[in-house]
Amino acid sequence: MDPSSSSRPRFLERISSLLSHEPEDRDELIGLLRSAYDRSLFDADALAIIEGALQVSEIQVRDVMIPRALMDVVSVDDAIDKIAAFAVETAHSRFPVIGEGRDDVLGVLLAKDLLRYFAGKEFTLRDVMRPAIFIPESKRLNVLLREFRANRNHMALVVDEYGGVAGLVTIEDVLEQIVGDIEDEYDFDAEGDAIVADQAGRYRVKATVELATFNETFGVDWSDPDYDTLGGMLMSLLGRLPQRDEVVEHEGFRFQVLRADSRRVHTLLIERQPEALGEGG
């Protein structure tokens, strides 16, 4: 007999007992769930996932999308070698394909389709790109997730009330609101990769990077007894959790939040201001 099977009825009985009083609203339900956590009926990760699942119906696409200015796109007229190099540099699996500008999205290129080119087969970008899916900024995340699952899509372009492209959203962006940050093989994780320079002279930095590491890299001497990480420093400066796409300027540096959810900041885009560059030589 499976030892775990005997514990399941007891676990369900304890949950049922806890919920014997039917909650009248969401706040009361969350209160009951937190009470269950306090009584060790499940762990903190399970509580966070349940709360995240309840919250997605209240979050709109505009709150989690990648803003238009930060979208990595390819032009339909770009040379294939240039597109391939860009795909390697950014390490994304999907790219909006644009024509005249970012409002003129013609389709979506899957990075795996570039293998045809490298395999010596005929490759025409217009022929291999997939249809783009467009959604309004106001769409709720629970509805979008249901559509992603039903249509087997992983990315959608977000349009504003005037029909212009406001950004894009992926299924990963939605799932991270439920389960927290999802790191794949392309996310820089080790401390040595926590600060990555791009071709424009900016830096993509994990918010969890230690201040000592940041100080050593950028030649500054920031410290405070209240925080140890760069994300903690930004929270201290603002007095709250920074939001996605929010910009903070501090002592000659410009910090833009690239990735954040309702729990924490994940990734920052950092750029030295001109005066900081001058001071640093």
Region 161-186 average pLDDT? 77
- Give the Å distances, CA to CA, from 231 to 44, 223, 244, 269, 274: 22, 13, 13, 12, 23
The predicted model scores a pTM of: 0.57
Domain at 191-279: CATH code? 3.30.465.10
What digits encode the pLDDT tens for the residues 82-105?
Answer: 998 888 888 788 999 999 989 999
**pLDDT of res. 280:** 47
**pLDDT of res. 109:** 94
Q: Which of 17-21, 145-149, 188-192 has the highest mean pLDDT?
A: 145-149
| Every domain of the chain and the residues it spans | 3-42, 62-179, 191-279
Going by C-alpha positions, the residue among 200, 201, 269 that lies closest to residue 234 is 269
Region 237-251 average pLDDT? 82
Going by C-alpha positions, the residue among 131, 128, 183, 136 that lies closest to residue 159 is 136
**pLDDT of res. 182:** 52
The DSSP secondary structure of 144-213, one letter per residue, reads HHHHHHHHT--EEEEE-TTS-EEEEEEHHHHHHHHH-----TTS--SGGGSEEE-TTS-EEEETT-BHHH
What digits encode the pLDDT tens for the residues 31-60?
Answer: 777 777 777 776 767 777 777 777 778 888
Beta bridge partners, 268, equal: 205, 257
**pLDDT of res. 28:** 76
Residues of the chain with pLDDT > 90, as a percent, come to 19
**pLDDT of res. 169:** 93
**pLDDT of res. 11:** 54
Instruction: Identify the architecture of domain 62-179 in CATH.
Output: Roll (3.10)
